[in-house]
Amino acid sequence: MRHGRYPFILSFLVLPVGLYAWLVILPFAQAFQISLTDWSGSSNSFEYIGFDNYVNLFKDERFVLPALRHTGIILLVMPLVTIALGLFFAFMLNLGGRVRRGRIEGVRGARFHKIVFFFPQVLSVAIVGILWKQVYAPENFGGLITGALKAVGLPAPANGFLADTRFVLAAVIGVLVWSAVGFYLVYFSSAMASIPRDLYEAAIIDGAGRGPMFFKITLPLLWDSVQTAWIYLSIIALDVFVLVYLMTPEQGGPDASSEVVGGVIWKYAFKHGEQAFASAIGVVLFFAALSLAVVSLRVGRRERIEF
């Protein structure tokens, strides 16, 4: 019986593993092969040029280097702000109410607040991009933020936030945080529900406030959830091109001030006809995402707390 168990298990794995290899691994292998050539995408002839595309990739000061810098900023700021806000709102909604008879309560109407925060998750990226493009528009085009700033006598960019090189990247990051924080509020709230209330009640008896309870009880017990959230948000930060394409002028402008790696891949592949160079950028992005996930799991690993 034991001897025949492994062929039985392998019979179930053959199809899914085969599909994964065909639909995921093979395209990545083909992209790596293309990146070693000079293929333009419009002809069947090409020559192998080795790692020239990878060498030239880091010499492109017009698109690639600004895109790497902007993607790095998004990768650092967006997950950090989203997780911080998600934890803060989840903690306040679940444990920010009054203390009655030694028991800590959540905020009244917490379920309704969670629904309101989660609402951006039901919107497609296209709707989010078009919506916020109008919010950031100049005052004479009905821009909500610029109009509000002018109404209270504060300065606002004449051409809107998205047409100003000083604000466009911050504007994109703000939309990313707005669209993601509701999901992680619900995610962290679900994780907090598994923490025994006895721990908080004991902390209240010892005279602990909200701050010590968060840093001494909630955050250590939610560390695995925070680590998972960081990895997923980092992947989202690396794949932000759709929002940049929909919101910004010149799909990464103005003057490449909101250019991201995904946008550079699209421009070289479909506008400049350099499929091999675009494939090289895609391969670098793939290994960057893979390395980021591995490093996050290794660096963020700590002893599991049982409760």
The per-residue pLDDT for 97 is 61
Structure tokens at 128: 């989010």
Does one domain contain both 164 and 279? yes
Q: Are 252 and 263 in contact (CB under 8 A)?
A: yes
Predicted pLDDT at 102: 56
Q: Which of 191, 176, 214, 188 is nearest to 78 (CA)?
A: 176
Same domain, 173 and 273: yes
Percent of the chain with pLDDT over 70: 92
Note the pLDDT of residue 1. Answer: 46
In a domain, 306, yes or no: no
Parent domain of 96? 36-299
Contact 234, 292 (CB under 8 A): yes
pLDDT of 176? 93
Q: Grade residue 103 by pLDDT with cuts at 50, 70 and 90.
A: low
Report the C-alpha gap between 180 and 238 in whole angstroms. Answer: 14
Residues 258 and 174 reside in one and the same domain: yes
Q: Do 65 and 206 fall into the same domain?
A: yes
Residues 22 and 126 in one domain: no
Residue 101 to residues 108, 120, 201, 285, Cα–Cα distance (Å): 17, 37, 10, 54
Q: Max alpha carbon distance in the chain (Å)?
A: 81
- Max mean pLDDT among 6-15, 35-44, 226-235, 286-295 falls in 226-235
Please tell me the least confidently modeled range out of 130-134, 156-160, 303-307: 303-307
In a domain, 268, yes or no: yes
Interatomic CA distance for residues 250 and 244, integer angstroms: 9
Q: What is the mean pLDDT of residues 290-298?
A: 79
Residue of 76, 163, 178, 93 lying closest to 131 (CA atoms): 178
Higher pLDDT among residues 233 and 9, named by residue: 233
Residue 96 CB: number of other CB atoms within 10 A? 16
Position 100 scores a pLDDT of 64
How many distinct structural domains can be found in the chain? 2
Q: Residues 169, 206: one domain?
A: yes
Least confident of 22-31, 100-109, 259-268: 100-109
Q: Examine the domain organization and report whether 127 and 206 are in the same domain.
A: yes
Q: Are residues 85 and 111 in the same domain?
A: yes
Query: Rounded to two decimals, what is the model's pTM?
Result: 0.84
Confidence class of residue 173 from pLDDT cuts 50, 70 and 90? very high
Same domain flag for 84 and 14 = no
How far is it, in rounded angstroms, from Cα 267 to Cα 223? 39
> Does one domain contain both 261 and 126?
yes
Q: Compute the distance between CA of residue 90 and CA of residue 28 in angstroms, rounded to an integer.
A: 39
Same domain, 18 and 113: no
Residue 223 has pLDDT above 90, yes or no: no
11 and 97, same domain (yes or no): no
Q: What is the pLDDT of residues 189-212, one digit of tens each?
A: 888 888 887 887 787 777 777 788
Q: Which of 30, 83, 34, 263 is nearest to 191 (CA)?
A: 83
For residue 305, is it within any domain? no
